[in-house]
Amino acid sequence: MKSTVGLQRNDLMIVNPGITTRYPGLWRVERLLQVNVVLTPVRREGDTYVPTGGRNLRIRPEYLLPAPATSEDDTTQAAAVLIKIADPLHVGQVVTVADITHRIPAETLYVVLRDRGETVSLVKLGGDNGTYWPRVPRAWVNPYSAAALEDLLTR
């Protein structure tokens, strides 16, 4: 679990677009909680940042990135650059998941059920009592190499 150490009140942040694109724009750190951070949406007016009047966002600090030092328009462009354009995954392809919370062991293998572009549906290789992950961020998923899979199967 990552703490909020390193963040300070009034820091400008953006939500990592590799995690979600649901919260675009600039956010200012309002409060530091034990696990989460409370953010307020802001916009640039001249040399200052003013609240937009939207709802606050409570989010884990590892989902945040420092905001670029330029204008709000550049923030949107910088967020677009951060999204890694990845090759589509095929149904049945074996992958690993590297989530930023590190709760999933890196050696656990999953099989792709569906690729929706931004998210992927996965099931654990070998099954897990019929459960599956319906929406895993595509940025967390890494294809498992065919050579490594062949090596694993011939052991």
Each residue of 12-33: pLDDT tens digit? 998 887 777 788 889 999 999 8
More confident residue, 155 or 23: 23
Q: Given 59, 82, 105, which residue is the final one in a domain? A: 82
In this structure, is residue 146 part of a structural domain?
yes
**DSSP readout, 124-153?**
ETT-STT--EEEEEGGGEEEPPHHHHHHHH
Q: How confident is the model at residue 85 (pLDDT cuts 50, 70, 90)?
A: low
Q: What residues contact residue 62 under an 8 Å CB cut-off, 6+ apart?
A: 2, 100, 101
Is the pLDDT score of 149 beyond 80?
A: no
Residue 148 and residue 104 share a domain = yes
Q: How confident is the model at residue 67 (pLDDT cuts 50, 70, 90)?
A: confident
Three-state DSSP class for residue 18:
coil
| pLDDT at res. 1 | 44
- Residue 112's domain comprises 94-153
| pLDDT at res. 3 | 52
Is the pLDDT score of 38 beyond 90?
A: yes
| pLDDT at res. 70 | 65
In this structure, is residue 88 part of a structural domain?
no
Residue 67 and residue 29 share a domain = yes
Distance in angstroms (rounded) separating the CA atoms of residues 128 and 147: 25
Q: Given 50, 82, 114, which residue is the final one in a domain? A: 82
Residue 78 and residue 30 share a domain = yes
Residue 98 and residue 58 share a domain = no
Distance in angstroms (rounded) separating the CA atoms of residues 136 and 151: 27
In this structure, is residue 129 part of a structural domain?
yes
In this structure, is residue 2 part of a structural domain?
no
Residue 17 and residue 78 share a domain = yes
Each residue of 94-138: pLDDT tens digit? 998 887 666 777 788 999 999 887 789 999 988 888 888 888 888
Residue 111 and residue 58 share a domain = no
Q: What residues contact residue 54 under an 8 Å CB cut-off, 6+ apart?
A: 40, 41
In this structure, is residue 87 part of a structural domain?
no
Is the pLDDT score of 37 beyond 90?
A: yes
CB neighbour burial string for 22-55, b if at least 16 within 10 angstroms, e if fewer: ebebbbbbbebeeeebbbbbbebeeeebeeeeee
Name which of 6-10, 73-77, 91-95 the model is least confident about. 73-77
In this structure, is residue 6 part of a structural domain?
no
In this structure, is residue 99 part of a structural domain?
yes
Total tally of structural domains belonging to the chain: 2
Residue 112 and residue 61 share a domain = no
Residue 99 and residue 64 share a domain = no
